[in-house]
A and B are shown apart, each in its own frame.
Chain A
Amino acid sequence: METLKAEHISFGYNSKNMVLNDINFTMDNSMILGLFGDSGSGKSTFCKILTGFIDSYKGNVLLNNKSIENGFNPIQLIYQHPEKIMNPRWNMGDILKESWNPSEKILNEFGIKREWFNRYPSELSGGELQRFSILRALNPKTKFIIADEITTMLDAVTQVQIWDSLLKYAKKYNIGVLVVSHDDKLLNKITDRTILLDDLNKQ
């Protein structure tokens, strides 16, 4: 059992205006947990803090009660805009292999075609790019996935395809998933339990 814990997280872009105030949060890797918040409620900021994208916050992010070591971060972020976390001058094969080299079987499960490996990010559709960014995050060393509005920009059909592959994989390899969204209907459908960011955030 792996646990992800956030203790007394506070963060503000300036001192007057705190986005997050003393947040405490725990989840383990058997869970598909939902985190609901409206736009502007600070959920993206919270996701970035959990995954090390922002490091100037107060409080602690702990994995199994230890702080995160340098090197590969077992808590990986998947982002709303996959093109922003890909170097535009790299081809898709290099982008995926920056993390790991999945087997043909896994590529198939995620609906990724080998022929896309030679293309550049600007040559794939949003759904195709998001498949790559998800699979890249699912490195064998990954214990938790923080999925920040990952299907908001996609159509409903692609949304189902993406969640289906991600959640099946996560269950199989015991990866905990935090599903962050403003879409309560989606959260009810795919998560075991949903918490509200506003309840955690002591404003």
Chain B
Amino acid sequence: MNKLLEVDNLSIGFTQYFKGLKQRKLNVISDLTIDLYENEILAVLGSSGSGKSLLAHGILGILPPNAEVNGLMYYKNEELTDELKEKLRGNTISLIPQSVNYLNPLMKIKYQAIGYIEDESLKNEKLKKQEEIFERYNLDKTVGDMYPHQLSGGMARKVLISTALLNNPKIIIADEPTPGLDKKSVDETITDLIDLKDKGVSVILITHDIDTAIKTSDRIAILYLGYIIEVTETKNFKYNNENLLHPYTKALFNALPENGFKLTNGHQPSYLNIPKGCPYQDNCEYKTDKCLKKVPPLVKIGTSLVRCYYPIIN
């Protein structure tokens, strides 16, 4: 299998003012390292409000100007520079945003879907294609002439997916596609994502919903306080926790209501108070002095990657 996208040591931070003269630095993503292969769904799992969306914005090159970005990204072994990002954005790599709030409320859906095209014949060609794709997703012809506020929740999601598909992308980044949807729509979204994979598109699914991640993805990358702490095959989440290596990943598995709802003491701090050393030390029962001093590197064990000095291997 070929590597499509490689993100190496990505960090994203912001310097912000918050009270009077005080300035603070917020490291939202500290060390994010992931690979995306052809024809796979990779879920990036992290708790809400953690700025996971910034990963998507970082790959697409649409971060705000006050963001400090470090690390390298490659698309098919070619370095993903700002120029390349701009070239690929919306064509080869496209985004399914969180909600219709990302659409312009004063513009008809079909014109937003095709984007701004000056050439009249090219425009008609695109519109035709847009109609085809909308049809494939069971969207009525009239939907194209609607405005965003007229869409129901389920329709909106389909519009966003079909819009992302319009330029035959190789990679789709789906940013939290499920929250706020009813059960039926969640199930439909899951089917749609798997369907995308079958069509030969690779998907990065950014989510905090572990159920959706398990049902759709091939691999899961677990994000904790801005660090990727484990990348594991999804099947390791399905039956038991034996092949999960990081203490947090194990705790996460055991904490699911269907797996025993087991209590782990400690708490997850805020991004302003990321501890020195291992990010998970506040909750970890295996920690030693070494963990408090230096962040463990991401190491390969079997098919997994894990960031821990004492991975739990059965």
Contacts and interface: CB of A to CB of B under 8 A. Distances in A.
Contacts of A154: 47-48
Interface stretch (B84-92, B195-203, B256-264): B256-264
B238 interface: no
A159 B255 contact: yes
Contacts of B268: 125, 127-128, 155, 157-158
Nearest to B48: A153
B251 A157 contact: yes
Range class of the B interface residue count: 35 or more
A164 B265 CA distance: 10
Range class of the A interface residue count: 20 to 34
A185 interface: yes
A127 B267 contact: yes
Contacts of B179: 152
A39 B263 contact: no
B49 A39 contact: no
Contacts of B269: 125, 128
Nearest to A183: B257
Interface in A150-203: 152-161, 163-164, 182-183, 185-186, 188-190
Contacts of A123: 270, 272-273
Q: Which of B266, B270, B283 has the most CB of A within 10 A?
A: B270
Contacts of A39: 180-182
A106 interface: no
A124 interface: yes
Interface of B: 18-19, 46-49, 153, 179-183, 208, 210, 248, 251-252, 255-258, 261-273, 283
Interface of A: 38-41, 111, 120, 122-128, 131, 152-161, 163-164, 182-183, 185-186, 188-190
